[in-house]
Amino acid sequence: MPLLIRNGRVVTATDDYTADIYCQDQAITRIEARIDPASVKGAEVIDAAGKFVFPGFIDPHVHVYLPFMGTYAKDTWETASRAAIVGGTTTLIEMICPGKTDEPMAAFETWLSKAQGISSCDFTFHMGVTRFDEKAERQFRDIVKRGIRSFKVFLAYKGALGVDDRELYHALKLAKELGVVVTAHCENETLVDERQKELIAAGKAAPEFHEPSRPVQVEAEGVHHLMSFAELTSAEVYVVHTSCDEAVREAVCAIERGVKAHIEVVLPHLLLDQTYTQKPGFEGAKYVMSPPLRDKSQLPRMWNHLRSGVVATVGTDHAPFDFETQKTMGKDAFTKIPNGIPSVEDRVNLLYTHGVAAGRIDLHTFVNAASTRTAKIFGLTGKGTVAVGADADLVVYDPNYRGKISAKTHSMATDYSAFEGWEIKGRPSVVTVRGEVMARDGKFTGGKGRGRLVPRA
């Protein structure tokens, strides 16, 4: 059914104006000062007076199907996409993370099968390069032909997902040849491994020792390492979940030398600090992710990098593991706690609340970092802005809503929220995916399987 959104304050990465928006056949077809509802009979009319109309938000970094650290992430594409949509995110980019002995094409088909026909929001993938040899290379070429125009490499997770320097070099060379962006988890895996052994041997096994096992130098070294390789190969790179000023500076230094690099920050590193992993009992395990939550002093520095545009995108690194049955796998050693924090549902509302409403970033930076720049970097056709011809992925956003986050009411499949009890100032009133209303006022109203693989430029 066609859709008319009236009287909303349309905010994009560059513009801010009041208008009516008409959507037909999945796209935005008219944006005008006033469109008479009588002239578009049969359209569903939504009154957006007093509300913002944002482009659908895009999360550049999620894990939904994730075999990891001896278990599987908790969400399915049904639960994760519903949670995303309720929170205003209409496109997800998931990391495909094959084991080292898995064939890349088989992994691509597996990950695709988990989303296609099930996801309610649109989606695409970063193809994990966890092994690089001739056989794998042929498959990466075919996967790129299938429209997956970004790779993911892990410099961390020794012996599991991590690549060695030979593999990194050749993955970057292939990416350069194919015009593919390489996203990278940057931590020096050897340093992590050695420090973990030292800490455990010293009886320091609680969740709070996760951070000392991979301090800021470990991450900054990882970024420096990637940048040296990117400089030599001229590949375009994207540093995921940058958690600290030291790591950002390594990337900025490289950008100043001419390296084509982008920096992502994820929500937990803007809002949570290391003290959360020091909570009494085993509670701190809820906050174990990698790179780890940092000292409080890092948070304002990361917000500054976002405000100045040095940080390009804000994702979540949504990696959902239950507290009771999964995080507890690391009761005796923090090294066995499945890494990750669930937050795909909360990114937009928390970024609006602690960014825009708190005066840390303006509306354009908010839209740019949470949607537009991701669409541009990863070539997501039709996404990331409100314009005639763009996909009708729209978020009618009520800045006057007040509420609280709780695992009791969230749509994610996990048994806890890292933001339990946190207040949100603002929430999506209506969320559309290619012109179809999929959520209203915090409730999912859409159907299963509407999401499709986003064409990539």
- Site residues, Zn ion (CB under 5 A): 185, 317
**Residue 340, binding choice from Zn ion, ligand URP, none, Cβ under 5 to 8 Å by partner class:** ligand URP
Q: How far is the CB of 67 from ligand URP (least distance, A)?
A: 11
What is the nearest approach in angstroms of ligand URP to the Cβ of residue 421? 23
For the chain, the first-to-last Cα distance in angstroms comes to 28
Among ligand URP, Zn ion, none, what binds residue 289 when CB lies within 5 to 8 Å by partner kind? ligand URP
Q: Which of residues 45-64 bind ligand URP (CB under 6 A)?
A: 63
Residue 320 found at the interface with ligand URP (CB under 6 A):
no
User: Minimum CB separation from Zn ion for residue 103, in Å?
Assistant: 22
Beta-strand pair 52-55/3-11: parallel
**Of residues 183 and 298, the one with the C-beta less far from Zn ion:** 183
DSSP tally for the chain: helices H, then strands E: 13, 19
Binding of ligand URP at residue 6 (CB under 6 A)? no
Count residues near ligand URP (CB under 6 A).
Answer: 9
Alpha helices in 324-441 (DSSP H): 347-351, 363-367, 373-377
Of 187 and 436, CB closest to Zn ion: 187
**Pick 185 or 214: Cβ nearer Zn ion:** 185
| Smaller CB separation from ligand URP, 290 or 417 | 290
Among residues 183, 213, 277, 339, which is the contact residue for ligand URP, using CB under 6 A?
Answer: 339
Beta-carbon count within 10 A of 151 CB:
27
Q: Which is nearer to ligand URP, 319 or 424 (CB)?
A: 319
According to CB under 6 A, which residues from 159 to 188 bind ligand URP? 185
Does 289 bind ligand URP (CB under 6 A)? Our answer is yes
**Dist CA 402 CA 399 (whole Å):** 8
d(CA 226, CA 220): 10
Least distance to Zn ion, CB of residue 399, Å: 30
DSSP output for 251-317 = HHHHHHTT--EEEEEEHHHHH--GGGGG-TTTGGGGG--SSPP--TTHHHHHHHHHHTTSS-EEE--
Examine residue 316 and tell whether it contacts ligand URP (CB under 6 A): no
* Closest to 187 measured CA to CA, from 198, 199, 196: 196
Q: Considering CB distances under 5 to 8 angstroms, the limit depending on partner class, which of Zn ion, ligand URP, none binds residue 365?
A: none
Shortest Cβ 238–ligand URP spacing (Å): 13
Report the C-alpha gap between 375 and 371 in whole angstroms: 6
Q: How far is CA 361 from CA 302, 303, 375, in A?
A: 12, 8, 20
Q: What is the DSSP-derived secondary structure letter of residue 455?
A: P
- Taking CB within 5 to 8 Å according to partner kind, which of ligand URP, Zn ion, none is near residue 339? ligand URP
**Which residue's CB is nearer to ligand URP, number 35 or number 73?**
73
The DSSP string of 136-201 is HHHHHHHHHHTT--EEEEES-STTTT---HHHHHHHHHHHHHHT-EEEEE---HHHHHHHHHHHHH
* 317 sits near ligand URP (criterion: CB under 6 A): yes
Q: Which residues bind ligand URP (CB under 6 A)?
A: 63, 185, 241, 289-290, 317, 319, 339-340
